[in-house]
Structures are given as C-alpha cells and as structure tokens.
C-alpha cells in the first residue's frame, strides 16, 4: 500500500481543519492555556479516579441478589449523599465514554495512529470496549426495568440454562451467584483499566497522569452540577411477568438493545464487530509516511545524550562506544519508535542527526538560498517558522502547500496594501528549530526584518513536547531573545491570529507579549493553578465540560422494544428420549442395577431432539425443534420462545415429540392475559407437562 505524507492526505486534513476550528473557537473564550479539548487523555484518567472513589462508596452499601439489589440501590438513593455519589458515578461513566471517543477522534484526524503509535491506538480501542462492557454490567446491578430488558435479551441470545436461571422459579437463589460475579467483574475490570493505561502509554517518555488542577476543578463542578440538576434514578423493579415496553435507556451503553431488536442480532453485531475491527486495523489499512526515522552520523556524535533526554518516544538509546573518536557514548536510533518529529535535530549542536527526507546541511543550504533570493530584491524578508499542521491547515495566507517536511518557501503576503516578502520554514514540529540556526540572521547587518515562531498550543503539540523543548533551548540565548524574534501559539488553521499579528507587525504595533523573550518568560514563571487568572476562561471551560458530561444526560432517551401488547412465554428444559446407548454394561454390573434404573439411563448416549408445537385458539403459531446439548448430543434441550398475543382469554395447546415418533399433548387449557403482561408456561419434569408459572418481581 502506498504511504502518503501528512500533506498528501487531503481528506484527513479537511476533517482535521474542522476539528481545529472548534478548538480555535474555544480558545477565543478560554485561551489556549485553559482549553479542555487539549487534555482529553488526562481528563479520562481523572474521570476514572472519580468512578473509583464513588464506586467504592456505592459498593460498601450495595447488596447483591435479585431480592435485595433494587432495594439497596433505592436505600442508597434515599440519602442526599448517596444520591449525589450515585449520580456523579453515572455521569462520570457517560463522560468517560464521550471523552475517550473524542480523544480517539482527535488522534485519528491528526494522523496520530500509525507507525510507532499503533500500540496506543489499539490499546485505546480495547480500553473503550472494556469501559463499555463495565458500564453495561453496572446497569445490571440496579435491577430495574432496564436490567430486565438486558436480562431477557441476554437469555434469548445465550439460551441454555440462562433462561431458566432468570425466567424460571427460585430466581433469587438461582441468580445470586450471577450478581456476585457481575459485581466482582464491575469492580475488578475497573482496576484492570488502569493497567491497560500502562500499555497505552508504553512508548511515551514522561507521560502525563494528572490533569491540570483547573481542569479537575471544572470537571468536578460539571459533574456536581449535572448530578444536582438531574439526579440518577431507577425505573420500576425488574418484573418478568410484565412486557418490557417503551422505557428510557442510556444510548451510550444500552443503545444496542433497541437497535438489535430492530435490525436483528446478526446484522447489528456483524456491523458493529466489522466497524470495530476496521478501526483497530486502521494503522495497517491506512498507514502514513513520516519524515523519520532520523539517522545518526556517528563521527559527529559526541554522546552528550541530550537527544535521548528530549525524545518524547524513547526512540534514541545511548550506548557505549570503543572507536577512535575519543567519546565514551554514541546515540543509536530505534527506527520502530521514531516518528520523525525532529526534536533531536533541534538539540544537536554538532548537526549529527538528519531526517531521511532531507539532510540537515542540505536543508540549511535551501534556507540560506531562499534568504539570498529575497535579499537580492533589496527588501529584507520576514521569516516565519512553523510546523506542518499550521501550514497544511491554512494558518497562513499562502497558496503553496509542500508535499513533505522540512520545507522552505518564498512568498509575498499583502497586508493593508503593503507587500511583505516572507520566507516560510516548515518543520514537522517547531521543536526541530535549532536556535543556533537563527544567530547568523540577526548579526549586523541583519539579513531579515524579524523572525516569527508560530507553534501549536504547548498542550496540543502533535509530537507532545515540541514547544516545551524549544522554550528550553531558547531561554539561555539572551542575545538571540533581544533580537526581533516573536512567538505566537494558536490552533492550526486559525488564520485570524496570524493575520492580526502581521498587521500589527507592518504598523509597528506588535503586542509586547508576542516578543519571544516575554512569551518564554511568561511560561517559565507560570505555576500550576486550580483557577485561571480571569473568571471568563474558567466559566467558558466549565461550559464546555458541562456540554461534554451532559451528553450522558442527552443520551438517555426512550426506546421502544417493539413489544406486543401481551406475551405467552414458553420455557422448557427437558432431555429427549435416548436414541442410541453409549456402550454396554457387563452382565455382573447390569444385575446390580437398582429397580427402575435401566442400563440406558446409566450409560447415556445420543438423545432425540425435542419438538414443540404451540396452538393458540386452534391455530398453530409456533413449531420448533430443539437439539440436545453436549458434544455427543447427550444433554438437555432448552427452549425459550416469546409468542405475541392480544390481551384476553386464549385457549393454548402445546404438543411435544421427544422420541422422534409420537406427538403428545403436554398442555391444554385456558389462559387469561392482561394488557402488558406475560404468561409463562414452564415445563415441569415431574408432571411431564407445562404448567402456568408466575415469576415474582
């Protein structure tokens, strides 16, 4: 498959541009320092922490069992603290799914899912599936009408003894072990998610675990606000004598119930599984091509280890060397981990590291040639240094889009009627800029009017740490920072931010904060805070998080099951007659058999399938064959059929054939069915007939 570069994947860039517009809009309200969409990964971890704390509280007071679960949940909700904890737990679970999906979408649109990032991509989808499964089990533990629908769906899907466990007699005793197992998995798998996150960040250097304090405060307030406005409630208790009708469900977790009932299990789960597998396989189905891996020129490498320190993906290893260079160490590239960001090149003073797409020396020659071309026109240019995201997504009023990076372009921007020559230098990431490359440009006489660094927000670098390390590389270059060097950050595609700066530059009215010296100093002095310096950014960020967490509220909508007005449920667990006997007993053993016990009953063997025929009011409405279970077809046959009827009195007749030859009547009587009710006909092995069974709620 042909691998394309970041610029050549134009469909991806259009989608990413739309996403970036949304982020730019939020930036105008909150600033780039307080945009929640830049911290989706750590926000997901914080929500997991909220789920852990509230889950521990709920587990302390919860009692499993069909006869106690609903009542204990009602008891928890009866106290203000219990209702608050339950509601926060519910909305945190919904917000977690939304945040993880948004995080995956952001990684997809920005091309951060292939090559060395495939581990994070695949484990992320596995974690999302695990989160969804845990959430579904949580609804089981409430044991209300949603749990009833889920149980009936599972019983019909799985079949076998499961149907008898929940729809037959002795529900509380038969299902107690099931509730204990679900509760254990609901808790244990939650802990397993944290272990999954360790795999998710396996290839990251210095992974971030904690969200910023202001974000944790905003997320907590958003959850509390939703919990107070719309507390979590239970529906009526699960009652298998009633038809599951139009009830509200959480579409994020239980949406499969109405969808699969409309489309059918085969179609729905087939499509769902296919989409999931395609999403997981995207790193191999649609791989891209980066500028890496980088290459080390061994005779230039001094073994200083700065490149290994600053690599965000542990793609550089420092090993001992024993050649004649006189240096003790050598940097070695791990090609399968390198993403081609170029941060190591921006650190290497010896110019001993090159991108495969263009050697560093050749790139610097092109840069100097571009400057010489403009200077030959007797007008000093402005140099704009940026990353591939800003160039591809349209941050600059330019018509030239490169095919790969690094790239040097020469153009003219017209601002307020003034034509301004611009040399645009595009790196994979601004962190590739080596400050030493700028020094010759500002020496007297200066060859440029000024230099502008346009970076992604520090918390939204496509390579995680590009702006951070560029700050670290520049902060000690005092002479360089005193030159006309500027820095602005913004969402890629936010052209208005750059146009405003260019207009101010032409007019000589640049904001002092855009000077690189002031910009860097402000970030070096910034300390972690739980409250933005202004109220507006905080409230705007809170509104965004209320919207994100509130999707769980919006997602709960009534769903119809297409259930009939009344139902006859036929439930059978019965072994057919023996068809063949497995082996024979010796004469001595046969003589020792107790009275009434036959040789066939001891040895067992293949059994006949059980056939059922159901007549209602003299009309056959169902006829089915149920094969015996077991590898050798020696086990029980199970039947669960839901037959729709109209409310009222009905004459029901059931015939059975379990010997392959003879039909016999196993039920013949009048049944009265009220609207919205279920009459269960359960096969009684002792009476060898079906009996009317009334499940207890």
Residue 589 has a pLDDT of 64
Task: List the beta bridge partners of residue 317.
Answer: 332
d(CA 123, CA 66) in angstroms, rounded, equals 35
Q: Which fold has domain 10-17+35-285?
A: Cytochrome Bc1 Complex; Chain C (1.20.810)
Q: Please give the radius of gyration of the chain, using alpha carbons only, rounded to the nearest integer.
A: 34
Q: Rounded to two decimals, what is the model's pTM?
A: 0.91
Question: Alpha-carbon distance 179 to 69, whole Å?
Answer: 9
**Structurally, what CATH architecture does the domain formed by 566-693 represent?**
Sandwich (2.60)
> Cα angle vertex 202, ends 197, 205, to 5°?
115
Distance CA 552, CA 291 (A): 41
The DSSP result for 295-355, as a single string, is EE-GGG-----HHHHH-TT--EEEEE--STTS-SEEEEE-TTT-----HHHHH-TT--EE-
**pLDDT reported for residue 528:** 65
- Report the C-alpha gap between 686 and 426 in whole angstroms: 83
Helix, strand or coil for residue 248? strand
Query: Which of these, 619, 590, 618, 615, lies nearest to 603 by C-alpha position?
Result: 590
pLDDT score, position 351: 85
Sort 187 into a burial class: Cβ within 10 Å, 0-12 / 13-18 / 19+. middle
Cβ neighbors of 425 (< 8 A, separation 6 or more) are 367, 383, 384, 385, 386, 406, 407, 408, 433
Domain 362-526, CATH: 3.40.50
- Alpha-carbon distance of 684 to 697, in angstroms, equals 21
Q: Is 630 helix (H, G, I), strand (E, B) or coil?
A: coil
Task: Give the model's pLDDT for residue 591.
Answer: 58
Q: So what's the pLDDT on residue 385?
A: 96
C-beta separation of 179 from 142 below 8 A: no
Domain ranges in the chain with CATH number 3.40.50? 362-526
**Count of other CB atoms within 10 angstroms of residue 433:** 27
- Running DSSP on this structure, what letter comes out for residue 237? B
- pLDDT tens digits, 442-464: 987 888 999 999 999 999 999 99
Q: What is the pLDDT of residue 280?
A: 96
DSSP 3-state of 452? strand
* Residue (of 120, 126, 122, 124) closest to 337 by Cα position: 120
User: Helices (DSSP H) in 201-235: which residue ranges?
Assistant: 213-229
Residue whose tokens read 């034509």: 419
Considering the chain, tell me which residue range(s) the CATH 2.60.40 domain(s) occupy. Answer: 566-693
CA 407 – CA 538 distance, rounded (Å): 39
What pLDDT, in 10s, does the model give residues 200-252?
998 898 998 889 998 999 899 999 999 998 899 899 999 998 988 888 888 88
The confidence score (pLDDT) of residue 696 equals 61
Return the structure tokens found at 43. Answer: 């926000």
Per-residue model confidence (pLDDT) at position 174: 83
Residue 464 has what DSSP assignment? Answer: S
Domain with CATH 1.20.810.10 in the chain: 10-17+35-285
Closest CA to 228 of 86, 97, 93, 95: 86
CA distance 36 to 460: 11
List of the chain residues with pLDDT < 70: 1, 399, 527-528, 530-533, 552-553, 558-562, 581-604, 695-697
């Amino acid at each position: 498959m042909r691998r394309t570069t970041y610029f050549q994947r134009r469909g991806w860039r259009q989608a990413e541009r739309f996403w970036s517009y949304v982020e730019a809009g939020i930036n105008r309200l909150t600033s780039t320092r307080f945009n929640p969409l830049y911290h989706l990964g750590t926000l997901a971890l914080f929500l997991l922490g909220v789920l852990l704390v509230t889950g521990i509280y709920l587990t302390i007071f919860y009692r499993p069992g069909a006869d106690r679960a609903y009542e204990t949940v009602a008891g928890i909700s009866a106290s203000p603290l219990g209702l608050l904890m339950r509601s926060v737990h519910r909305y945190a679970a919904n917000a977690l799914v939304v945040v993880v999906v948004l995080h995956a979408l952001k990684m997809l649109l920005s091309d951060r899912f292939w090559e060395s990032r495939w581990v994070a991509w695949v484990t992320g989808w596995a974690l999302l599936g695990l989160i969804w499964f845990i959430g579904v089990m949580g609804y089981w533990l409430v044991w209300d009408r949603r749990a009833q629908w889920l149980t009936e769906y599972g019983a019909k899907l799985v079949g076998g003894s499961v149907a008898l466990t929940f729809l037959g007699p002795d529900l509380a005793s038969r299902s107690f072990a099931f509730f204990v197992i679900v509760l254990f998995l609901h808790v244990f798998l939650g802990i397993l998610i944290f272990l999954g996150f360790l795999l998710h960040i396996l290839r990251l250097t210095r992974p971030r675990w904690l969200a910023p304090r202001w974000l944790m405060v905003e997320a907590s307030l958003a959850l509390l606000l939703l919990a107070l406005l719309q507390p979590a409630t239970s529906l009526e208790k699960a009652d298998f004598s009633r038809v599951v009708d139009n009830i509200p469900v959480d579409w994020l977790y239980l949406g499969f119930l109405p969808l699969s009932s409309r489309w059918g299990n085969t179609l729905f789960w087939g499509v769902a599984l296919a989409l999931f597998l395609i999403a997981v396989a995207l790193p191999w189905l649609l791989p891209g091509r980066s500028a890496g891996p980088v290459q080390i020129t061994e005779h230039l490498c001094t073994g200083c280890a700065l490149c290994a320190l600053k690599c965000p993906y542990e793609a550089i290893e420092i090993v001992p060397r024993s050649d004649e260079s006189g240096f003790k160490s050598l940097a070695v590239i791990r090609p399968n981990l390198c993403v081609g960001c170029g941060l190591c090149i921006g650190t290497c003073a010896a110019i001993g590291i090159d991108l495969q797409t263009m050697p560093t020396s050749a790139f610097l020659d092109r840069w100097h040639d571009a400057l010489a071309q403009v200077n030959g026109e007797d007008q000093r240019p402005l140099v704009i240094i940026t990353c591939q995201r800003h160039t591809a997504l349209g941050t600059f009023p330019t018509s030239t889009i490169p095919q790969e990076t690094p790239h040097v372009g020469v153009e003219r921007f017209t601002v307020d009627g003034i034509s301004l020559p611009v040399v645009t230098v595009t790196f994979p990431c601004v962190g590739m800029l080596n400050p030493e490359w700028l020094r010759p440009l500002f020496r007297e006489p200066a060859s440029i009017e000024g230099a502008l660094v346009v970076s992604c927000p520090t918390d939204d670098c496509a390579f995680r740490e590009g702006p951070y390390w560029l700050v670290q590389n520049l902060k000690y270059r005092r002479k360089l920072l005193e030159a006309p060097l500027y820095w602005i950050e913004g969402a890629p595609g936010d052209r208005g931010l750059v146009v405003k700066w260019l207009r101010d530059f032409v007019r000589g009215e640049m904001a002092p904060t855009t000077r690189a010296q002031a910009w860097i100093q402000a970030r070096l002095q910034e300390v972690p805070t739980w409250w933005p310096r202004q109220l507006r950014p905080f409230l705007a960020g809170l509104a965004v998080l209320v919207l994100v967490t509130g999707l769980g509220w919006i997602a709960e909508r009534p769903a119809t099951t297409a259930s009939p007005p009344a139902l006859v449920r036929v439930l059978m667990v019965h072994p057919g007659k023996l068809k063949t006997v497995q082996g024979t007993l010796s004469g001595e053993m046969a003589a020792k058999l107790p009275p009434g016990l036959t040789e066939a009953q001891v040895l067992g063997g293949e059994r006949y399938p059980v056939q059922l025929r159901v007549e209602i009011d003299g009309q056959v409405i169902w006829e089915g064959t149920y094969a015996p279970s077991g590898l050798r077809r020696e086990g029980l046959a199970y039947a669960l059929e839901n037959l729709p009827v109209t409310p009222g009195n009905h004459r029901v007749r059931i015939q059975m054939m379990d010997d392959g030859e003879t039909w016999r009547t196993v039920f013949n009587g009048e049944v009265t069915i009220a609207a919205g009710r279920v009459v269960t006909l359960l096969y009684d092995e002792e009476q060898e007939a079906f009996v009317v069974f009334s499940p207890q709620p």
